[in-house]
Structure 1
Amino acid sequence: MIHIGLTGSIGMGKSTTARMFREAGVPVYDADAAVADLYVPGGAAVEPLEAAFPGVTRDGAVDREALRIRVLGDDAAMTRLNAVVHSLLGRDRLEFHRKAEASGADVLVFDIPLLFETGGERNMDAVVVVTAPAEVQRARVLAREGMTPERLDAILARQTPDAQKRERADFIIDTGQGLEAARAEVARVLAAVRDPAFRSRRPPPAD
């Protein structure tokens, strides 16, 4: 089973690209959706995050804005947050993989915004980076409710720069060229990884 890591900086069109993979019949693990499930009332992250950051929960759920304010610009706090969330996500990904394998899927896509930042690319057979011109990216993000240039800059400061992501990618999908062009690139990626000549980026297992 081929594992594709799908990543890209904020506003690059990664969610739209993930939907195109789903439309092509490929199971997609959505890390953002999985995190949201952890934060709802009764979610697995509520108690450990309240313990790590007292006051960031409300009515039995994680208050995402309160948590964002608590960790923004604090590397140590971000490390604590990631330690809690990534441990829980690891279990969730294993369950996703089990179900996909049982369904007979030959390719899986893992939609993970911080793939490179967390070292997750080491577990992938191929990495797809979604990109777009910087001016398109900023326009998309600043059109979101509540977004400001300062908040956008703070988010980008925590993410691997787009240029570095593209350098480390096996495939690049430029959403600035329009939906049909992106859809054609998705088809190209799937054809490439299903080709018998495809070689995984993962090192072979040690003897």
Structure 2
Amino acid sequence: MTYKLGLTGSIGMGKSTTAKIFAENGCAVWDADAAVHRLYSQGGAAVAPIGHAFPSAIVDDAVSRDRLKSLIADYPDALNKIESIVHPLVAEDRAIYLSETEADITVLDIPLLFETGADALMDATVCVTVPPETQKARVMERGTMTEEQFQAILSKQLPDAEKRARADYVIVTDTLEHARAQVQDVLKDIQGRRTNA
């Protein structure tokens, strides 16, 4: 049975990079955002139920994220409705992945790990972090969102301090070398615990 390691961290904290480092170290990686992309694309399992609830969200037989954003902005209860459709499908995608993987350790990259209660399904959790000024600089450098949008995303996520307090492991992603060393420490610790269990 694969060991389930939940990976989380707020926007701009280095989660995707850390997931890649875990993969380089032989872990299987399941990505919640990638699962949502699959569900929203043509033939994806979310297309029909979202189309039924919000016909205007479907463009070229796929779910349009831009249209969803507009709906969420216009209708206060749209987000809850969308999440009630998508979260069970994402959970199903994750369960299928876990049942098929042969890796000793599977990293489950879930941005809203604690917010959705998915941490209860993990064997351990790891949170990536950097100081707030580094986080903001990284997000702004991408040039994909305004400061207002960045703050809106932050407001929906648990505070970094709370995530760090709840996680079994914390990885500081200030440099790539530091992150790599910490990933290896986490894996050594997990392997040690599994050997002694």
User: Equivalents in 2 of 1:182, 1:72: separation in Å?
Assistant: 37
Aligned equivalent of 1:205 = none
* Residue 47 (structure 1) aligns with: 48
Structure 2 counterpart of 1:170, which letter? D
CA distance in 2, matches of 1:73, 1:185: 43
CA deviation string 1:74-128 (max 9, x = no partner): 663222111111111122112111221xx3x221110000001100000111110
Answering whether residue 149 of structure 2 is matched by residue 148 of structure 1, we say no
Does residue 180 (structure 1) correspond to residue 177 (structure 2)? The answer is yes
2:37 is equivalent to residue 36 of structure 1: yes
1:173 counterpart letter in structure 2: I
Structure 1: tracts of 5 or more residues without a match: 201-207
Q: Which residue of structure 2 lines up, in the alignment, with residue 190 of structure 1?
A: 187
Equivalenced residue count is 196
Which residue is 2:69 aligned to? 68
Q: Which runs of 5+ in 2 are unaligned?
A: none
Instruction: Give the direction of change, closer, same or farther, for the CA distance of 1:59–1:197 in structure 2 (3 Å limit).
Output: closer
The answer for the alignment partner of 1:204 in structure 2 is none
8 Å CA contact 1:9–1:156 kept in 2: the answer is yes
Contact 1:192–1:198 (Cα < 8 Å) also in 2: no
State the TM-score, normalizing by the size of structure 2: 0.93
Q: Partner amino acid for 1:155?
A: I
The aligned residue for residue 77 of structure 1 is 78
Moved over 4 A (4+): 72-75, 197-200
Query: Using the alignment, how far apart are the partners of 1:121 and 1:75 within structure 2?
Result: 27
Structure 2: how far apart are the matches of 1:115 and 1:75?
Answer: 23
State the shift of 1:72 in Å.
4.2
CA distance in 1, matches of 2:53, 2:140: 31
Going from structure 1 to structure 2, the CA distance change for 1:51 and 1:199 (only over 3 Å counts) comes to farther
Distance 1:66 1:125, change over 3 A: same
SS in 1 for 2:96: helix
Please tell me the residue identity of whatever aligns with 2:13.
Answer: M
- The residue that corresponds to 1:56 in the other structure is 57
- State how 1:84-163 maps to structure 2 within 5 Å: 84-100=85-101, 103=102, 105-163=103-161
SS of the residue 1:185 aligns to: helix
Tell me the alpha carbon deviations over residues 179-202 of structure 1, each in whole angstroms, 9 at most, x when there is no partner.
0110010001111111137899xx
Please provide the CA RMSD for this pair.
1.9
Aligned-partner Cα distance in 2 for 1:197–1:74: 48
In 2 relative to 1, CA 88–2 (structure 1 residues): closer, same or farther, beyond 3 Å?
same
156-165 vs 144-153, which moves further: 144-153
1:28 CA displacement: 0.6
When normalised by structure 1's length, the TM-score is: 0.89
Query: Could you say which structure has the higher helix fraction?
Result: 2
Q: Secondary structure at the match of 2:56?
A: coil
Of the three residues 164, 167, 180, the one matched with 2:165 is 167
Q: How far apart in 2 are the matches of 1:34 and 1:182?
A: 25
